[in-house]
Amino acid sequence: MPYLKRSLETVVTHAALEFPAVVITGPRQSGKTTLLKHLFGNRLSLVSLEPPDVRAAAEADPRGFLDLYPAPVIFDEVQHAPALLPYIKERIDARRNQPGQYLLTGSQNLQLAQGVTESLAGRVAVLRLLPMTERELARKPGAPLPWERKGVPRPVPTRSPRQLWARFLRGYYPEPATSPRKDTALWQAGYVQTYLERDVRSVRQVGDLSQFQAFLRLLAARSAQLLDLSGLSRDLGVAVNTVKAWLSVLEATYQVIVLRPYFSNAGKRLVKTPKVYFMDVGTLCYLAGLRDPMHAMAGPMGGAILETAVIGEAYRTLAHRGVEPRLYFWRTATGTEVDLIVEADSGLVPVEVKLASTPNPAMAKGIEAFRRDYGDRVGRGFVIHTGADVLPLGSSVFAWPFVAL
């Protein structure tokens, strides 16, 4: 599998020069170990804590283990040996001014976050590596988002509908994204099963894995809709609090993005129920039972799939810069809606997502309504579509192709 430069590389390199410890967390198979090997593999030892014998050695004699692998060193999957963290803190405190001593990775954010908070607070930079972005796959990891550009890119790259939707089915995890011949459905099936057995099984809030898997599929079918906890609870035959706990597991393990509504005293009733999107659009397609690109595009979930791809791209691009993505949606009680509100340094950026190749001004009506309510705080708006044209659709609103996102 070819290595493609990740946007987070610059942030990791800088953090390793500033902090004694750096933690890279994120979902399984997002490329954390590969990134550290690429950046530091020629200089640092890499020790995986996933094998049971290595884990047992670290837990039984932490100080002896750290003597065996002195800093600077990379510890992979450190959540498997949480007892090691206080002793790492001990070593760091002995050389507090020396940066880059310990580079750590971990997949299970629930366990890792607690250990880092308790043991390494103030001594560590915590970064997230998520599935790849379109810009990383295009070998342009530093490319700006549309609202960050000063001009309009021309010409816009073209991609056939089948190519675009095949990308969505394949998803953005490095292995399937960069290996066109790999059986996508088989990879996704293995990924979901591994996630259930290794990550979810270790979380106390989840008892019945088969019921949790049914929850995943129901959530996929409701992607991009307002989250109906009571409906999910009724369909699964479990308590609402159980559904809430399961959703928190998915969010904490970077499987979903919970998009919360934007409201800032606009003087009207606004919907306050969140929406849920899968972090990787390929996972969504697999859980929804979609295998054919054109069926995915023309089917009832086509709009939700495109929306998931757009929101995931924005979220991952921002997270890979080492910042917290400030993403929301906007919906009034009367149903006027904007799919995505980005809280950028330049102001609020409204983004609509339309499953269409021929954009028209009517597609921007939600953006215009948002602009009327929030005035000068609103910057340029964008209608993301599946065509190839960049077009003006009104006052400071542009139609923008997904392939140029």
pLDDT, tens only, 365-379: 999 999 999 988 999
pLDDT tens string 79-109: 888 889 999 999 999 998 899 999 999 876 6
Q: Is the pLDDT of residue 162 over 70?
A: yes
Q: Is the pLDDT of residue 263 over 60?
A: yes
Q: What is the pLDDT of residue 113?
A: 65
3-state secondary structure (DSSP) of residue 102: strand
Q: What is the pLDDT of residue 80?
A: 85
Nearest to 31 by CA among 107, 82, 102, 141: 107
Residues 63, 144 within the same domain: no
3-state secondary structure (DSSP) of residue 104: strand
The total domain count for the chain is 2
Residues 321, 371 within the same domain: yes
Compare 181 and 114 and report the one with higher pLDDT.
181
Q: What is the pLDDT of residue 153?
A: 59
Q: What is the pLDDT of residue 34?
A: 94
Q: Is the pLDDT of residue 333 over 90?
A: no
User: Does a structural domain hold residue 250?
Assistant: yes
Residues 117, 201 within the same domain: no
Residues 123, 139 within the same domain: no
Residues 28, 81 within the same domain: yes
Q: Give the CATH number for residue 88.
A: 3.40.50.300
Residues 145, 117 within the same domain: no
Residue that terminates a domain, selected from 128, 146, 171: 128
Residue % of the chain over a pLDDT of 70: 94
**Around Cβ 19, how many Cβ atoms within 10 Å?**
20
pLDDT tens string 28-47: 899 999 999 999 988 899 99
Residues 141, 116 within the same domain: no
User: Does a structural domain hold residue 281?
Assistant: yes
User: Does a structural domain hold residue 32?
Assistant: yes
- Strands, E, within 107-187: which ranges? 124-128
Q: Does the pTM exceed 0.85?
A: yes
User: Does a structural domain hold residue 21?
Assistant: yes
Q: What is the pLDDT of residue 201?
A: 72
Residues 79, 156 within the same domain: no
User: Does a structural domain hold residue 392?
Assistant: yes
Residues 249, 170 within the same domain: yes
Domain membership of residue 342 as a residue range? 134-404
Residue that terminates a domain, selected from 76, 97, 128: 128
Residue that terminates a domain, selected from 94, 113, 128: 128
User: Does a structural domain hold residue 2?
Assistant: no
pLDDT tens string 204-216: 667 778 888 999 9
- Token reading at 165: 């939707």
Q: Please check whether residue 211 is in contact with residue 200, taking contact to mean a CB–CB distance below 8 angstroms.
A: no
Q: Is the pLDDT of residue 267 over 70?
A: no
- Mean pLDDT of all residues belonging to the chain: 90
Q: Is the pLDDT of residue 165 over 70?
A: yes
Cα–Cα distance, 20 to 100 (Å, whole number): 5
Q: Is the pLDDT of residue 312 over 70?
A: yes
Nearest to 339 by CA among 374, 382, 280, 298: 382
User: Does a structural domain hold residue 373?
Assistant: yes
Residues 116, 185 within the same domain: no
Task: Give the pLDDT band of residue 309 (cuts 50, 70, 90).
Answer: very high
Q: What is the pLDDT of residue 395?
A: 82
Q: What is the mean pLDDT of residues 128-156?
A: 87
Residues 91, 196 within the same domain: no
For strands 21-25 and 124-128, give the pairing.
Answer: parallel
Amino acid at 44: L
Q: What is the pLDDT of residue 3?
A: 84
User: Does a structural domain hold residue 1?
Assistant: no
Residues 316, 399 within the same domain: yes
Q: Please check whether residue 354 is in contact with residue 383, taking contact to mean a CB–CB distance below 8 angstroms.
A: yes
Task: Give the pLDDT band of residue 110 (cuts 50, 70, 90).
Answer: low
Q: What is the pLDDT of residue 177?
A: 94
